[in-house]
Amino acid sequence: MSDKRKKKIIGTQEKPRLVVYRSLKYIHAQLVDDVNHQVLLGLFNNSGLVKEKLSSAKTKTDAAIILGKTFAEEAVKKEIKKVVFDRNGYIYHGRIKAFADAAREGGLEF
């Protein structure tokens, strides 16, 4: 596939890129400032902030919802409310959709 067909999603300091990676067990999420090449915030299921909350999750989708809410809370603490959502090529359903909806509920605007 040539690069001409790929869309370029770029995050800035004011509106960073929210990148989501989904593996078989975990979801990783990062806020990236592509202009300054910095990761502003990063969380995944095994992070200390989320690990205690995930004990109540029965499914991976429940874990994605808890991670999305926690991620949004941490972003709002850093005064980041507007983001550009980069689903990293994954179809927008299941755990990706659950994470995104929970992040919106937590205060992020895509």
**Would 1 be classed as within a structural domain?**
no
Tens-digit pLDDT profile for residues 42-90: 998 888 888 888 888 899 999 999 999 999 999 999 999 999 999 988 9
Nearest to 22 by CA among 92, 77, 83, 110: 92
Per-residue pLDDT, 31:
95
**Would 6 be classed as within a structural domain?**
no
**Would 4 be classed as within a structural domain?**
no
Q: What is the CATH number of the domain that holds 26?
A: 3.30.420.100
**Would 3 be classed as within a structural domain?**
no
> What share of the chain in percent tops pLDDT 90?
67
Tens-digit pLDDT profile for residues 45-55: 888 888 888 88
Range of the domain at 21: 11-105
**Would 35 be classed as within a structural domain?**
yes
Total tally of structural domains belonging to the chain: 1
